[in-house]
Amino acid sequence: MNADLMIEVHELTKKFGSVAAVNHISFNVKPNEIIGILGPNGAGKTTTLRMLTGYMPPTSGSAMIAGYDILEDSLEVRQRVGYLPEQVPVYPDMTVRGYVTFWAELRGLRKSRARVDEVLAMVQLESRANSLIRNLSKGMRQRLGLAQAIVHDPPVIILDEPTIGIDPEQVIEVRESVRQLRQNHTILFSTHILSEAEQICDRVLILNAGRIVAAGAPAGLRQQLQAGDHLFAVISGSDTNTIRQTLARISGVESVEVQEAGYTLRVTPGMDIRADVSDAIIQAGYRLLELRPVAMTLEDIFLDIVGRTR
Ligand SMILES: Nc1ncnc2c1ncn2[C@@H]1O[C@H](COP(=O)(O)OP(=O)(O)OP(=O)(O)O)[C@@H](O)[C@H]1O
Ligand SMILES: [Mg+2]
């Protein structure tokens, strides 16, 4: 084991029948890093996280958490991981404190009262300690799930879409709770929301159809992927359909999107087709008024990568 790594994932694979939900993924996480796993529905995020928590055995490949093998030492792994599942189990008639105490004791914590109070304060639920879970808002329930995940003070925290389905104000509170944990925890969380990953993460992994299709620090990822890959063209002529077809025929153009003000071309990475675009437009009898690279948002990059790998 590499002592500098808190999570080591090697060729991890999970098949359901003949379908590989997670397909030979490898990545490492250093202590106290915070990593976002991004991907559309069905990408394999939940399956990956379940394997890493020691609850679902992989079909092949391996992973180590804090030096323990998820298959061979799954009990050790579970002690060192806090897990907020996609669907938090709810016990509507339990109190907030009762629920966290229940989990603390399940994890073998005795005399847990002080720790439970500490954790409730961390997720800003101390004032609701005696409320029934049924009376909590969705965002509060999510923070309660977080309290459950961290009560045994695990070095690694794994959160499956912690901000899904809650309103913006509560999203901020959940994010704040996650941020506060970052100082002395290694955190892996999945999300659909790029801006969220960008705000909290040191690094992002983009998962699609069971594979890692891009990885890196949010800023670097943006820089690496946006360069020259999209062009925006303004062309005079009202026959948008013919112009679109003319553009689509240019070698290196992967797709053309007609927009109100012009045309956005998706270009094969690494190709400079600007001269070809101008030639093609002129030959077709139109006039090129403007041609420039498009600055992409992370959202665009995400959709683009997912589109390319689909
Ligand atoms: N227990 C299971 N049995 C069969 N197929 C499964 C099972 N769990 C997941 N899958 C399939 O594996 C693929 C990946 O699913 P997974 O839930 O990991 O994706 P996800 O990225 O978490 O998606 P979402 O964003 O919707 O939560 C999907 O095609 C899903 O249908
Ligand atoms: Mg999921």
H-only helix segments in 151-251:
168-181, 194-200, 218-226, 240-248
Domains of the chain: 7-216 (3.40.50.300), 224-309 (3.30.70.100)
Identify the residue whose C-alpha is closest to ligand 1 atom 16.
Answer: 44
pLDDT for the residue 230: 84
Local confidence pLDDT in tens for the 310 residues of the chain = 566 899 999 999 999 999 999 999 999 999 999 999 998 888 999 999 999 998 899 999 999 999 999 999 998 999 999 999 988 777 899 999 999 999 999 888 888 899 999 999 989 999 999 999 999 988 889 899 999 999 999 999 999 998 887 888 888 888 888 888 888 899 999 987 777 888 889 999 999 899 998 899 987 776 666 555 789 999 998 899 999 999 999 999 999 999 988 999 988 877 889 999 999 999 999 999 999 988 666 666 677 677 766 5
Identify the residue whose C-alpha is closest to ligand 1 atom 31.
Answer: 42
Q: Ligand 1, from 25, 38, 47, 213: best to mutate by most atoms within 8 Å of Cβ?
A: 47
**Cβ(16) – ligand 1 distance below 6 Å:** yes
Identify the residue whose C-alpha is closest to ligand 1 atom 6.
Answer: 16
Tokens, residue 80: 């060192």
Q: Ligand 1, from 12, 19, 46: best to mutate by most atoms within 8 Å of Cβ?
A: 46
What is each CA distance from 224 to 97, 264, 309, in whole angstroms? 47, 19, 17
**What spacing in Å lies between the alpha carbon of 50 and ligand 2's midpoint?**
10
Nearest to 144 by CA among 89, 184, 105, 106: 89
φ, ψ at 203 (rounded to 5°): -140, 155
First-to-final CA distance of the chain: 35
**Cβ(52) – ligand 1 distance below 6 Å:** no
Tokens, residue 119: 């954790």
Nearest to 45 by CA among 75, 70, 25: 25
**What spacing in Å lies between the alpha carbon of 290 and ligand 1's midpoint?**
44
The Cα–Cα gap between 157 and 149 comes to 7
Q: Are 268 and 252 in contact (CB under 8 A)?
A: yes
Q: Are 216 and 223 in contact (CB under 8 A)?
A: no
pLDDT for the residue 43: 92
pLDDT for the residue 299: 66
DSSP result, 106-119: HTT-SS-HHHHHHH
Measured from the Cβ of residue 225, the count of other Cβ atoms closer than 10 Å reads 19
Q: Ligand 1, from 45, 56, 193: best to mutate by most atoms within 8 Å of Cβ?
A: 45
pLDDT for the residue 222: 67
- Ligand index nearest the alpha carbon of residue 17: 1
Taking phi over 0 as left and psi of -120 to 50 as alpha, with beta for the rest, 120 belongs to alpha
Tokens, residue 244: 């679109």
Place of tokens 């093998």: 69
Measured from the Cβ of residue 190, the count of other Cβ atoms closer than 10 Å reads 25
